[in-house]
Structures are given as C-alpha cells and as structure tokens.
Amino acid sequence: MASSHSCEFFSDKEAESLTSLYNEGGLAAVIPVIKDKLHNLENETLNIAVTGCTGSGKSAFINALRGLRRNDEGAAPVGVVEKTMEAKAYKHPNLPGVNLWDLPGTGSPTFQAKDYLKKVDLNKYDFFVIMAAKRFTENDANLAVEIEKMGKQFYFIRNQIDNDIRSYELEGIEYNREEVLQTIRNDCIANLEQIGIQEPCVFLLSSYYLNEYDFTAFTQTIEAELPEKKKHVFWLSLPSVTLQVIEKKKQILKKRIWMIAAAAGGVGAIPVPGLSIACDIAILVAELLHCREFLGLDPQSLQRLALNVGKPLEVLTAEVQNPFVFDITPQSVTKLLTSSIFGVLMIADDALLLIPIIGCILGGITSFGTTYMMLSNLLDQFVESTQRVVKKALE
C-alpha cells in the first residue's frame, strides 16, 4: 500500500509506529522522527563509478550528469589525454551524499589493468558505467566480469555518438539516423560478445546532448535495478534535460511535501503574523529553494543551460511565468501563506486524506493543510515552468 501513496518514504510499519508514538507522546514525539527521515533522504548516498579507456569521455560524462560545464567550479577536468591517475570523487552540487567517481582509464599506460581491481576498491560503488568512444576492449570485458562476480550492476555506454552523426553531415552523406544508430549498437554488441560478454546491453549517449539517443532507456534501466531507497536520490541528481526526468522529480518532490508541512508546523513553530497558525517559515523557504535547484530553475542552472544551447538567458527566463521562483525569501513565503490561507482551509481535510495511516496525526498541526496545499501548488507551477524552459531550450 505504501508504495502507491504520498507517505511512500515511510513503510507501513514505520507509519504505524508513528501513530503509536503520537498516542504515547503527541506531536512532540512524532515531529523529530519525521525530521530525521527528511535528513536521511537528503543525505542518502549514491556512488557511481565511471570507467573506460583513455579518451572515452569519462570526465565530460561526469560533468554532464551533474549539470556542469568543463569551466564550472567543481567540474572534472576534460582533455584529450588521460587526466585521471587515481579514483577521484566529484560531489553533486545539490546532494551531499551523491558522488560520481572518475576511475583511471582501464588501458592507460600509467595504470595497468592487472592492478586495476585491487586499487580502485570496487566495493564502495553502487553501480558502474563502462564507457567507450569507439570499441570496447578486453580490459572492459574483464572488468565487467569481476563486477558481476561481486553482485554489482554495470552498464556499457558507447559515448560521443554525436560525433558519429556529425561525420555524416560534414561529408554531406545522406543517412537514416535510426539505421546508423542501430548499426553502431549492433557493432558494439558483437564486439562485446566477441570478447566474452553474454547478451550485453549497450546504451548510445552523448555527454553534450543528454536529452537525445538512449538517455531515457539508460535512466529507466538504472531505476529498475537500483535498491528502492536509492531511486529517489538518483532521479533528483540528474539534470532536468528531458520531460521524463522532470516528471520523475515532480513525483518524488510531491511525496516529500507532507513531511515538510508537518515539520514546519510542528513543535516549536513560530506564530505567523496576521494568521491563526504557527509555522517555521525557514523550513518552507529551504524546501522551495531545494525544489528550484532540483528542477534547474535557479539562476546558475538557467545560465548554464542558456550557454549550452546557445540562447540568451532572457529567452529562457521568460518561460518562467511565476516571478516568485526568483524571489524565494521568508517575506515572500509569508505573504503567500497569508494570501492563500482562506482558499485552502476548506480543502485542508482533503490534504489529510492523501496521507494514509498517519493523517490523523497531522490533523493536530494547525498549519498543515495550508502549508501542504501551498507547497503542492507551487511545485506544480515550478514543474510547469521547467517544462516550458526545457522545451524552449531544445527548439
């Protein structure tokens, strides 16, 4: 039951435990548990290892997955020669527990394949991406075999597909894009089978055009194979470059809202001037800023997107129809609460019905219905703006 409702991050057993806590100690006993759950969600770890031969585009891929360009602060160095001499972690800009690891090239002269498995400590990673710019090598196959022995997932990525497509265009050759991609995919599969990998799955990607090629299939496959508790942090870590990623983020952020509303209105909340409710405005501000960052509507993300697609920043920001997106402050949030309370009080009870098992607890928080509906409505507006921005960027 829990997996289909808004309390998905709590199992049925945990939700029932919350009810027992409430019966014994009231809201004062419940709110710390909800805050701990939020803290754990925000700090969930995910370690992604990226490896492959020298020149396969590992660093560019790591930057792309974090929504960064090569000259941005914290970006992995990109070059035509091997830049990675030892495993190096690159932190996600918004999620402290997410690291993308740039592993040394499997065939580089400075790092011999026979010592590879011992030196990179394969146990620390949740899954592996094995990249190639042309053909996969025997070292790639050997690495995949060892990863599989450890019970870890690995994914083959044929990178820099945009270069293959561009070569046809530069030479003025007529081509069928899907046929060319399928030919490359078949060649990679045959190559891997020849070096010992049975029924390999290969994804064709470009680090500079993540919205194209096999990116959707790649992310869906990872989601299906990740442990349940890691799925939300995986989706939130991705740049908002496709409508599918944006929709996934919306679903995840929606499921957090009841916890944010409960935490903001719990014990220690401050009375809001002019309202008959108490609410910790700082918690609401922090969550709205997080939503903005995860959806790519913060000024830095919009600027990077504008540079990536070669369009003026003003063209993209014009697609953000609610000016509140760029003015998330304690004052603006308080004003919104004041203006919206009369419209949401009538449907506050409906909000509680969305939270099975523990809705009775949340009914004891005077601000819950107001903050829940305000956050839900704002998230819808943020998502709509993100969709408009991405569509405009890709025109």
- Examine the pLDDT at 343 and tell me if it is beyond 60: no
Is 3 a residue whose pLDDT tops 50?
Answer: no
If we measure between CA atoms, which residue out of 90, 104, 99, 100 comes closest to residue 52?
A: 104
Which tens digits make up the pLDDT trace of 216-241? 999 999 999 999 889 999 999 999 99
What average pLDDT is seen over the chain?
83
| pLDDT tier, 5 (very low <50, low <70, confident <90, very high otherwise) | very low
Q: Write the pLDDT tens digit of every residue in 50-104.
A: 998 878 889 999 999 999 888 888 898 887 566 556 789 999 988 999 999 998 8
The 3-state secondary structure of 189-251 reads HHHHHHCCCCCCCEEECCCCCCCCCCHHHHHHHHHHHCCHHHHHHHHHHCCCCCHHHHHHHHH
Q: How do beta strands 98-102 and 88-91 pair?
A: antiparallel
Q: How far apart are CA 305 and CA 393, in angstroms?
A: 8
pLDDT at 347 over 50: no
Q: What CA–CA distance (Å, rounded) separates 238 from 205?
A: 15
Whole-prediction pTM: 0.86
Return the pLDDT at 360.
53
Which 8-state DSSP code applies to residue 187? H
Confidence of residue 358 (pLDDT cuts 50, 70, 90): low
Residue 65 CA to residue 68 CA, distance in Å, equals: 8
CA-closest candidate to residue 108, choices 137, 70, 134: 137
